[in-house]
Chain A
Amino acid sequence: MQAKTILLAGQQNAGKSTLFNMLTGARQHVANYPGVTVDKTSGVFHFDDVKYHITDLPGTYSLSSFSLEERVARNALREEQVDTVVNVVDAANLSRSLQLTLQLIELKRPMVLVLNMMDVAQKSGLTIDSERLSAMLGVPVVESIGRKGIGKASIAAAIANASQGKPDYAYPELEPEISDLIVCFEQAGIDSENNYRWLALRVLEGDTQVTEWLESLALADKVAEIVARATQKISGQLNDYFVTQRHQFVQMLCRDCIAEQGDQGSARSVSKKIDRIVLHPICAPLCLLATVFAIYQCSIVWGYELTNYTWPILATAREWVAALLPSAGFLHDPYTRSLGLWVVDSANTLLNYVPIFLILFALIAILEDSGYMARIAFICDRVLHRFGLHGQSTLPMILSGVFAGGCAVPGIMATKGIPDNRARMATILTVPFMNCLAKVPLYTLLVSTFFAEDKALMMFFISTITIISALLVAKLLTKTVLRGSETAPFVMELPRYNLPTVRSVLTRSIERTWTYVKKVGTIVVAVSTVIFVLLQFPGIDEQAEQRYQHRAEQSVAKFAKAVAKTPYASTLDEQSLPLLVNYFSDFKRAKLNASGVAASKVVNEKFAKLNSEFYTIVVPPKGDKAAKKAHRALRKLASERKKIRREMKEQQLQSSLLGSFGRAIEPVTQYAGFDWKINVALFSSFAARESSVATLGVLFQPDEDSSDKLENRLGESSDFNSQGELSAVALILFFALYPPCLATVMMIKVQTGQYRWMILSMALPTCLGFGVASAVYTIGTALAMSGVTAMATSYALALSLLLVVGLYRKKPRQSMESQASIG
């Protein structure tokens, strides 16, 4: 079979990714370009017995070397051995798109031009004479509608006829200098693989990358002399001359090849109408708030309701695993059992949020595809810029859960799009403050345990205080460590509004959710195993062990005495008794999980079938006095066992490695009201925040048979209650400012490329969070504040600080503006 390699090049918003998806379907592979953090998406498709390997280049407006994406795309275009370059352009915006096309043609690669979004162009009343365009550019031109999957066949056909293109335009004033440069390159013996003319043009444009390369070849003097000659000829900058020449040629192409008939009802005029409302000074903030609220309502509120339906599935899965694992002993469970259930419990806690993730990511995909995301950046830039961030920081913040729910990992990945390096760094370092989905369970747990009556108010405080702290920290970073970083302009395109396709939204939502689940599957399960070990060892000492054993024997003896006169006495020996107790607890748990009368009946039938003899004791038939007596004794025995196991577990936890660690730092953390259990939970949640609730769940769930909700267990627990609401507030605030989880920290390393930012991202929030939590707890205790008062006070303080910082720069800014209006 024949195989071809293809590079897909195009500007942003040209529908390049849509076209790529249309061609390759699900067969894609995302990697990084060597040495940089730009995504390299590649895929394969077949057509007419030809296999095409296709690589999606980063979207760029031009091929200069100012931005990383441009350099990556340019190097790939120059260096990779490919058969064809496929240039995707927005047919409805040819005049801008063709600028890049001309630059691609200058590279002299076999090329095909794809006019994408033909439907939008037609709706806008544009008729494009693609044959004529093809003749003028000297490359095959095909039409496609990526959204609707139209054009695959013609693209494949055109690839077979790809050609280098010979545009009828030149740079007449500078042709002598271009020729001189080419001669100079020839004499210097530069590899003829390099396109001399292209090099000459870049040198004249003042391209830093090419100029530096030539300097390394000791050509600098000669070249500089020719460039100086060219500069004298042209009034204004050389670079502008090239852009203008290309622009004029593009204008000519458009005049000759495009016929326009009005634009009534066109996509652009529709966009205009929508923008009149969506970007209206008064409506814009309302629309934005409504959008964020809709995201919150759909993904968090309704998604959470969905988990009521998905949780039983996960509970059933746990039962299956529990049945597969070796059964529980009377006092000690085999390690395989406890570890197995521990891992399943940790994974379940996370998988429970899958419905929320699916909805959240789908909504974000809709925002991205529709074009509203760029408007959000436009609306928010003024505020964010004041704190050292960028309008485009909005997307990472929303992804990370600006309100509540999200994930810092995709958030940090999304900072790639921010051109301003300083704002990008500040965004990366503050995005983890947002309320990621993994923080929500702990908030929900604490709020519904301690602040059930003020739930809405507390959730409001929590979801907005993180934004306030993120903005303040961003400002702090910009004024200190990031002071010297380079900044970039806020100049971006507002794309047309587009109706997102169901397929594209679903694909992305599922893909992103899958990324999250994979993270769960690897890091969280691995770490939960480590924590299990840290919690199990070194175990309880022999003396205590004997004491528990003795108590257990006593309670068994009591049971034996009680049933001595019943017919069951003979059948219940040392071996069958643990089985009966397990059977009893299994039955109780199954009844608890079963909802409805019918399901409950099924459970009864199942257990009756499993062991009819045990069943008569567990559910004594009416009138059977002996069975009733045995049942009563069994209940006593089971509850006694539960009590002993709980005490054992408690002691084991306290003496475990992690428990000792939690205890060791208690003298410090007591100022924030954290006892050792909380310390353990917080420590384990660094691995993945999701673990906080999982670990708390285990810490406050000493017996393995319970399916009781954690809220009840936590509320009942004496250690937590004694510290009360203030401690919960301190914990909430600490958790809001808590260092990023392991996965996020790794992503920060990947995105910033430096360990020092990674370390800063851990150290700063820890100190800040602990400082705030200690202050709130200590001062709150001294003033005998209630939880809500303490939270409201901290919130008010943070908000006033934000206002002070936000308005502080106003004066110099106004003076700059007034200067501007004078000028």
Chain B
Amino acid sequence: MELSLACVPCGAKGRIIAHEAEGAIRQRLLDLGLIPPSQFELVRFAPLGDPIEVQVGTNNVVLRRSEALTVKVTLG
């Protein structure tokens, strides 16, 4: 099932499917390794719930929920 990265619970693993963002955001997400169909793990939320930390390969990337909304993923 396809869902947004912003809705993934803490500790869940899955695959990145597609990006809906355009331009700079999309480029930055790709640059930091969120390249479909990479595997990811949602490591943690920031103490106040936002931003979130995602591990992709050897990279640990943090992004706001508003940006995570544009990343489509599947779990498992």
Contacts and interface: CB of A to CB of B under 8 A. Distances in A.
A644 to B, nearest CB: 65
Nearest to A284: B47
Contacts of B33: 95-96
B51 A391 contact: yes
Please report whether the interface of chain A is mostly helix, strand, loop or mixed according to DSSP. helix
Interface string A167-180: 00000000000000
Q: Considering residues B19, B23, B60, which has the most beta carbons from chain A within 10 angstroms of its beta carbon? A: B60
A378 B67 contact: no
Nearest to B22: A237
A646 to B, nearest CB: 58
30 contacts: A62-B30, A64-B27, A66-B23, A66-B28, A93-B59, A96-B32, A96-B58, A96-B59, A239-B30, A240-B36, A243-B35, A279-B44, A279-B46, A279-B53, A280-B47, A379-B46, A379-B47, A379-B48, A381-B64, A488-B25, A489-B64, A491-B28, A491-B61, A491-B64, A492-B63, A493-B59, A820-B4, A820-B6, A823-B4, A823-B7
A560 B16 CA distance: 98
Nearest to A236: B18
A275 B47 CA distance: 12
Contact of B63 (A239, A383, A491, A816): A491
Contacts of A491: 25, 28-29, 32, 61-64, 67
Nearest to B52: A378
B51 A494 contact: no
Contact of B27 (A66, A96, A281, A378): A66
A10 B2 CA distance: 35
A385 interface: yes
B56 to A, nearest CB: 9
A244 B36 contact: yes
Contact of A493 (B21, B25, B32, B69): B32
Contacts of B32: 61, 96, 491-493
A213 interface: no
B63 A489 contact: yes
A820 B20 CA distance: 14
B27 to A, nearest CB: 5
A820 B65 contact: yes
Contacts of B36: 240, 244
9 tightest A-B CB contacts, nearest first: A61-B31, A382-B48, A66-B24, A494-B60, A489-B25, A284-B47, A490-B64, A491-B63, A281-B47
Main SS class of interface, B? mixed
A301 to B, nearest CB: 28
A95 B46 contact: no
A705 interface: no
The interface size bin for chain A is 35 or more
A795 to B, nearest CB: 23
B20 to A, nearest CB: 11
A271 B6 CA distance: 24
A383 B21 CA distance: 24
A268 interface: yes
A92 interface: yes
Contact of A385 (B3, B27, B35, B64): B64
Interface in A468-523: 488-494
Contacts of A237: 26
A718 interface: no
Interface in A765-823: 816-817, 820-821, 823
A247 interface: yes
Interface string A255-291: 0000000000000100100010001111011000000
Interface of B: 3-4, 6-7, 18-19, 21, 23-33, 35-36, 43-51, 53, 57-67, 69
Given A92-B58, A494-B62, A67 B48 contact: no
B35 to A, nearest CB: 5
Contacts of A95: 33, 57-58
Contacts of A244: 35-36
B54 to A, nearest CB: 10
Contacts of A93: 58-59
Interface in A727-763: none
User: In the complex, which of the residues B36, B47, B69 has the most CB atoms of chain A within 10 Å of its own CB atom?
Assistant: B47
Q: Which of A61, A490, A821, A823 has the most B CB atoms < 10 Å from its CB?
A: A490
A382 B49 contact: yes
A99 interface: yes
A439 to B, nearest CB: 30
Given A268-B58, A493-B32, A279 B25 contact: no
Interface in A669-712: none
B27 A382 contact: no
Nearest to B59: A96
A239 B7 contact: no
Nearest to A377: B62
Contacts of A379: 46-48
A236 B30 CA distance: 14
Contacts of A383: 48
Given A64-B27, A279-B44, A490-B67, A378 B61 contact: no
B50 A382 contact: yes
A99 B32 CA distance: 10
Contacts of A816: 66
A244 B16 CA distance: 13
B45 to A, nearest CB: 8
A92 B66 CA distance: 30
A674 B57 CA distance: 61
Contacts of B28: 61, 66, 489, 491
Given A240-B36, A374-B62, 13 more contacts: A93-B59, A95-B33, A96-B58, A236-B18, A243-B30, A381-B50, A382-B49, A385-B50, A385-B64, A489-B67, A493-B62, A820-B65, A820-B69
